Amino acid sequence: MQIKTKTVVTFSAAALFAVAVQTAAFGSAEPTGMKAILTVPHEFDMLVKSGHIQGLACSEKGIYLSHQRGLAKIDWGGKLVKHIVVPGHLGGIACANGRIYGAFIIRRREDMKDGKPGLLRVWDEELNQIDEKAFQETAGAVGVLGDTIYYAIGHDKKPHRPCSVKRLGLDLADRGNLTFDFGYDIKYGIQAIATDGRSLICANYGGVSLVNPAFTSFKKLKCPSFAEGFALVPKSIAKRETPVFIAVRALGGNMKGWRKDPANNPPRLRLEFYAFDGETFTNITETPDGVLK
């Protein structure tokens, strides 16, 4: 056999070690894509009245989805495991330390015995309430990084620049507020907060930004809208070293489409996957025929 060209490739010891570690951890090189997760028709019919999904969080035990009137848990196959009703308009959620943290945009008046409209509620991974704390400020999103909870204050529908975040300890003790400017107009405040384990990633209707824990530096990222919720996927589920995030995509027209004909067009969600290289989110969701979207 005639060989026309010959290419010699060399690898550093560090590169070979990285491949060995990855192979030992996951059995082979990182896969190219991940299959989308679809919820079961009619299991989310509660959204006909409550509207769209507000937030998403996940752990090895399942995926958690918040909406205006409740909180749901689905398994990694998309089937509903449990749904609970909540005392008001639940916004974004976060999962850390075996707990689900939920920030409320609006509370029902009958539940505001303390006169404080804001609320951070905490559940275990089976959706049993274990803690809560009321605040004068309401919030649209919540995130957890290390030993700090970030409670994103405000829900102004008018375009605005300054934002505020309340910092709390894991015991819900107040650590003070921070005010900052993303450098572009946003609406409804921060809608979702996730983390890659080192920085916070804040999503809103004006963009998505990578933020250091002190909120003193920001970088706008290239990605689609994550305002309805996104979260870092556990490595045991993603089966790769590259950080992978899961995000909510509504099928059938979201709120307006679902309400027109819920019998034939029930609320249904598609959960997609995005690899993150520190600057850009790349959709790695496979279509039914196995091709990347």
For residue 128, pLDDT over 80 is answered with yes
72 three-class SS:
strand
pLDDT of residue 29: 66
Average pLDDT over residues 246-250: 95
- At 194, the pLDDT band (50, 70, 90 cuts) reads very high
* Average pLDDT of the chain, as a whole number: 85
Q: Are 105 and 67 spatial neighbours (Cβ–Cβ below 8 Å)?
A: no
pLDDT of residue 9: 32
Of 292 and 5, the structure prediction assigns the larger pLDDT to 292
Average pLDDT over residues 225-230: 88
- List the helix and strand counts (H, then E) for the chain: 4, 23
What are the residue ranges of helices labelled H in the chain? 13-26, 47-50, 235-238, 254-260
For residue 109, pLDDT over 80 is answered with no
- Tell me which fold the domain 31-286 belongs to: Tachylectin-2; Chain A (2.115.10)
Q: Are 133 and 147 spatial neighbours (Cβ–Cβ below 8 Å)?
A: no
For residue 15, pLDDT over 50 is answered with no
- At 183, the pLDDT band (50, 70, 90 cuts) reads confident
For residue 6, pLDDT over 60 is answered with no
For residue 16, pLDDT over 50 is answered with no
